């Protein structure tokens, strides 16, 4: 084999390896072909092996980084549910529900635009089934995998919401005391207002010290409806 032909082959292999390193493990046309016996030559095989070794560490590392990044991509799915308090938007991964809100624009940690519309996704389908039971008055507790995305403090507040029993309420001050941070009443209110999984993590059960409903992402009418659904005998003060 001439030196020109050998250099050409080495150049082709280096180009293939470079393409793999830049664009991931996709194989370019012609890459990875096994040479026929008449193309093989001990000298060429030795030189090509050397070039493979020189390029291998970089290429394998690039492919590994690509594969790792792809394996860490979390798929998101979304669906909408018509309810007595308006249209609810749900977002889930393959493992858990990550959002239940009235306005998807309010979500800052969930890639809503990349979420695929799929109301038949198992997590979304089960979430909507339990929500329908809740609105029908036949379910008092949700049994769903949840994933809260927020700061440590926010997740602490949202977890505390899950402990408020059906039909009961807590004040912002009581939540702050539960978190052993009684001075953080305002911070609790802010975190409660950013709850990404409404109704299921019942931020509607948190009220003002005087019994006022205060703010709610779905509006005060929706908050009043949810509280009256859970405890019809309670007198509610909207304002």
Q: Is residue 157 part of a domain?
A: yes
Q: Note whether 84 and 131 are within 8 A (CB).
A: no
Q: Is residue 215 part of a domain?
A: yes
Q: Note whether 188 and 172 are within 8 A (CB).
A: yes
The pLDDT confidence band at residue 180, using thresholds 50, 70 and 90, is very high
Q: Is residue 49 part of a domain?
A: yes
Does the active-site annotation cover 203? yes
Q: Which of 203, 207, 222, 224 is catalytic?
A: 203
Q: Using the 8-state DSSP alphabet, how is residue 189 labeled?
A: H
Dist. CA 92–CA 121, nearest whole Å: 9
The answer on pLDDT for 148 being more than 60 is yes
**pLDDT given at position 217:** 83
User: Does one domain contain both 214 and 101?
Assistant: yes
Q: Note whether 142 and 200 are within 8 A (CB).
A: yes
Q: Note whether 123 and 79 are within 8 A (CB).
A: no
Average pLDDT over residues 76-94: 96
The pLDDT confidence band at residue 50, using thresholds 50, 70 and 90, is very low
Average pLDDT over residues 75-95: 95
User: Which of these, 217, 154, 213, 148, lies nearest to 188 by C-alpha position?
Assistant: 154
The pLDDT confidence band at residue 233, using thresholds 50, 70 and 90, is low
Comparing 1-15, 90-104, 145-159, 193-207, which segment has the lowest mean pLDDT?
A: 1-15
State how beta strands 206-207 and 170-171 pair: parallel
**pLDDT given at position 1:** 53
User: Does one domain contain both 87 and 67?
Assistant: no
Domain count, the chain: 2
Q: Could you identify the residue written with the tokens 């084999």?
A: 1
**H helix or E strand, kind and range, residue 132:** helix 122-135
Q: What is the pLDDT of residues 52-61, one digit of tens each?
A: 444 444 454 4
CATH number at residue 170: 1.10.10.10
User: Does one domain contain both 62 and 82?
Assistant: no
Which structural domain, as residue segments, surrounds residue 206?
77-230
Long-range Cβ pairs for the range 100-103 (8 Å, 24+): 100/127, 100/196, 100/197, 100/198, 100/199, 100/200, 101/196, 101/198, 101/217, 102/198, 102/217, 102/218, 102/219, 102/222, 103/217
The answer on pLDDT for 109 being more than 90 is no
What is the average pLDDT value for the chain, to the nearest integer?
78
**pLDDT given at position 5:** 52
User: Does one domain contain both 105 and 200?
Assistant: yes
User: Does one domain contain both 49 and 156?
Assistant: no
The dihedral formed by the CA atoms of 56, 59, 65 and 68, expressed in degrees to the nearest 10: -70
**pLDDT given at position 12:** 58
Contacts of 140 (CB under 8 A, 6+ apart): 134, 166, 167, 230
The answer on pLDDT for 235 being more than 80 is no
Residue 148 neighbours by CB distance under 10 Å: 20
User: Does one domain contain both 159 and 136?
Assistant: yes
Dist. CA 148–CA 144, nearest whole Å: 12
Q: Is residue 97 part of a domain?
A: yes
Average pLDDT over residues 77-99: 96
Sign of the CA dihedral running 82, 84, 87, 88: negative
User: Does one domain contain both 154 and 116?
Assistant: yes
């Amino acid at each position: 084999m001439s030196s020109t032909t050998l250099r050409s082959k080495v150049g082709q292999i280096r180009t293939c390896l470079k393409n793999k390193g830049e664009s991931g493990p996709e194989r370019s046309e012609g890459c990875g072909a096994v040479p026929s016996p008449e193309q093989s030559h001990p000298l060429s095989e030795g030189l090509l092996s050397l070039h493979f070794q020189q390029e291998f560490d970089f290429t394998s590392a690039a492919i590994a980084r690509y594969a790792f990044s792809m394996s860490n991509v979390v798929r998101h799915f979304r669906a909408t549910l018509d309810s007595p308090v308006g249209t609810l938007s749900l977002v889930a991964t393959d493992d858990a529900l990550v959002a239940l809100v009235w306005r998807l624009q309010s979500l800052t940690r969930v890639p809503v635009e990349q979420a695929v519309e799929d109301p038949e996704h198992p997590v979304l389908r089960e979430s909507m089934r339990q929500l329908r039971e809740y609105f029908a008055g036949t379910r008092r507790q949700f049994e769903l995998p949840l994933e809260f995305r927020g700061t440590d403090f926010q997740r602490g507040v949202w977890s505390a919401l899950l402990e408020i029993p059906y039909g009961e309420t807590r004040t912002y001050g009581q939540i702050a005391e539960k978190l052993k941070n009684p001075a953080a009443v305002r911070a609790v209110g802010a975190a409660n207002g950013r709850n990404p999984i409404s109704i299921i993590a019942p931020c509607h059960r948190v009220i003002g010290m005087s019994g006022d409903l205060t703010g709610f992402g779905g509006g005060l009418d929706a908050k009043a409806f949810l509280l009256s659904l859970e405890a019809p005998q309670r007198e509610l003060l909207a304002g």
